[in-house]
Amino acid sequence: MVPPLVLDIDGTMTRPDDSIDPRFFDLLPDWEAPVVIATGKAFPYPVSLCHFLQIPELVIAENGGIVLANDEVTRNGDGDAARRVAEEYREAGHELGWGEVDLTNRWRETEIAVQRDQPLGPLSELASEYGQEVVDTGFAYHVKSSGVSKGMGIKAVAELLGRDLEEFVAVGDSENDVSTFGVVGESYAVANADEKAKRAAGTVIDESNSEGTISVLEEVREWP
């Protein structure tokens, strides 16, 4: 039987040009076990991806800040605190980096994201003052409540689905996937993953980005 999956989006389901690999649109709808999309992106993005993939909406968004499973939405973390961090960061003369129309944070509920070319030191200091922490996903600095993580999210999803965490296979590429790798049965980091993800993963794949993820799915689909 095929195992349930936990899949990151950016750097994992995407090709090097950041587009979703179209092969997932054929592969995942026929997957005979739950597929959980776990991402640092704002809540609407993974929900929309599930819709267009035509798979059940099993979502961990905003690095564990929002969990959706069995039509039940759970919000974790203090979004107000993250927004206060962003406000003070701007008042100190810095920017979030997304321009005047900030679509990266527009629908974000439990955290804020800052472009990685912005100063990290003052952001981390402010985050600490408000009980927040900064995680570097390789695509942005995310200011989120301490203790909130994708790993916490998959624990909640597994419980709602009545599945054992040891059944799940996770694929990811970033620091924010480390907590997931620590709780599931099998974990894979694609070749483009950061060092923290590679150290935490059970297996580091030779292939990068979506190519690596699809190679994992093809392998585990053949498990007895």
CA atoms within 13 A on the CB side of 108: 28
DSSP class of 138: S
> Which are the contacts of 66, defined by CB distance < 8 A and separation ≥ 6?
43, 59, 60, 73, 74, 75, 76, 109, 110
Residue 95 neighbours by CB distance under 10 Å: 15
Distances (CA, A) of 154 to 42, 64, 173, 177, 208: 17, 8, 16, 11, 24
Q: What is the dihedral of CA 66, 164, 217, 29, to 10 degrees?
A: -60
Alpha-carbon dihedral 197, 201, 204, 210, rounded to 10 degrees: -70
Among candidate residues 8, 173, 177, 194, the one labeled active-site is 8
3-state secondary structure of 38: strand
Query: Is 8 noted as a catalytic residue in this protein?
Result: yes
Work out the burial of residue 71: count CB atoms within 10 Å of its CB; fewer than 13 is exposed, 13-18 middle, 19 or more buried.
Answer: exposed
Phi–psi pair at 159, nearest 5 degrees: -65, -45
Residue at 10: amino acid letter? D
Active site residues: 8
